Amino acid sequence: MMKAGEMKVPIDRIPGLAAALGVSPFDFIRIAMEEYQPEVWEVLTKTLGAPLTKTEEMLIFALDLADPEEVIEFDDPTGRLVVSVFEYLEQEARMRKGLPPRDASEDA
């Protein structure tokens, strides 16, 4: 009945259902909220921001391991190094998608 849209999925049951189905609880909640309460979802995401993706959580975890006392400052040259790492990761992602490398002229 839920799959056919004849019955709403109870919001409090979504985490358990997501685990049972092997899907992202965030994506499941997002879809339900966009369908059931779009205005509430819009206010929540504009006010609080969207929850972190798994990749974002991993990056924050890695940063916390590297800098538990929060002494790293992202200025030159540290900031440039971080940007370089992400530029490399972007190129890697483009390759995996079968896209050509991003041209420097795309930044202009």
Q: Specify the 3-state DSSP secondary structure of 57.
A: helix
- Look at residue 14 and give its three-state secondary structure: helix
pLDDT tens, position by position, 14-64: 999 999 999 888 889 888 999 899 999 999 999 998 888 888 889 999 999
pLDDT band at 105 (very low <50, low <70, confident <90, very high): low
87 pLDDT higher than 60: yes
HSE-CB at 19 with a 13 A cutoff on CA atoms is: 4
14, 32 Cβ separation under 8 angstroms: yes
pLDDT in tens, 66-80: 999 989 888 888 889
3-class DSSP assignment, residue 51: coil
For the entire predicted model, the pTM comes to: 0.52
